[in-house]
């Protein structure tokens, strides 16, 4: 009806009747019925209950997964015992650091995994026995022989030895032959023409030689053997290493080699 009188003598129009009824208390403000508000509250309560049930199910499922994983680990450890599995899912061999380097320091036999090692390259392969540093990396007595030390009684606490049996045991100090046996030092020998790689005595693999020339000055080369005798020896005899690559500090001193190679 476009216009008229509602029950109770209230005049109504198409747009104003509902608002007038709300103003007089017949309907809630805004035109919504009590039944509609109750439905919204019920829907909200149902959503909250569903969220609580879902959270509870997730918690129970997570606890079951953790319990099953723990039981599986315990069962596997019981199958393998204290030794652990015979094999591991890894490309690298299992390396155990358990064992001792007592009487094994710098041995020439390369221990295979899972045994730990005590040779001079175990640090490179992270396979040293747990007591390698304590038993093998000693500094007492220094690293060179003196005339007073020649023929000394062996002292196992020394880093290297000058006793008569050091040659047979392979633990002489680096200058033992020169100081105690009268040999000429390497830098004084004639140049050698070495055609094939040679592994020095006491090494299982060829050692990696690194020259650190940080702050190296051209004057060092001019002074020759007075400053750096070994480098003077290499310079005078000439060297060739097919796999040697120069590396320059790229962050502080960029140069053409660095820009070209990225090294």
> Which residues are designated catalytic?
252
- What single DSSP character describes residue 6? E
Of the candidates 165, 164, 186, the residue with the CA atom closest to the CA atom of residue 175: 186
d(C-alpha 84, C-alpha 16), whole Å = 86
Q: 4: part of which helix (H) or strand (E)? A: strand 3-6
Give the span between the Cα atoms of 68 and 144, in whole angstroms: 61
Which candidate, 35, 1, 32, places its Cα nearest to that of 15? 1
As a whole number of angstroms, the distance between CA 232 and CA 12 comes to 115
Closest CA to 173 of 183, 182, 163: 163
Q: Is 63 exposed, middle or buried (0-12, 13-18, 19+ CB in 10 A)?
A: exposed
Pairing of the two strands 3-6 and 10-13:
antiparallel
CB 118 within 8 Å of CB 128: yes
Between CA 115 and CA 113 the distance in angstroms is 5
- Is the omega angle on the peptide bond into residue 214 within 30 degrees of 0, that is, cis? no
């Amino acid at each position: 009806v476009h216009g008229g009188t509602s029950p109770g003598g209230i005049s109504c129009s198409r747009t104003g009747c509902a608002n007038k009824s709300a103003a007089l208390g017949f309907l809630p403000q805004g035109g919504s019925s009590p039944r509609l508000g109750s439905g919204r509250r019920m829907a909200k309560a149902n959503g909250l209950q569903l969220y609580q049930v879902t959270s509870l199910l997730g918690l129970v499922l997570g606890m079951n997964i953790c319990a099953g994983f723990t039981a599986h680990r315990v069962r596997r450890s019981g199958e393998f015992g204290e030794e652990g599995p015979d094999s591991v899912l890894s490309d690298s061999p299992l390396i155990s650091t358990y064992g001792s380097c007592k009487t094994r320091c710098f041995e020439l036999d390369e221990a295979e995994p899972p045994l730990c090692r005590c040779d001079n390259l175990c640090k490179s392969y992270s396979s040293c026995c747990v007591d390698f540093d304590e038993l093998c990396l000693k500094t007492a007595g220094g690293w060179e022989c003196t005339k007073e030390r020649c023929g000394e009684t062996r002292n196992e606490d020394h880093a290297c030895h000058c006793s008569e049996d050091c040659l047979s045991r392979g633990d002489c100090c680096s200058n033992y032959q020169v100081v105690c046996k009268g040999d000429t030092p390497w830098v004084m020998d004639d140049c050698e023409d070495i055609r094939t790689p040679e592994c020095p005595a006491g090494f299982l693999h060829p050692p990696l030689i690194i020259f650190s020339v940080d702050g190296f000055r051209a004057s060092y080369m001019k002074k020759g053997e007075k400053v750096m005798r070994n480098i003077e020896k290499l310079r005078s005899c000439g060297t060739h290493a097919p796999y040697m690559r120069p590396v320059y500090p790229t962050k502080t001193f960029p140069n053409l080699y660095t820009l070209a190679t990225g090294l």
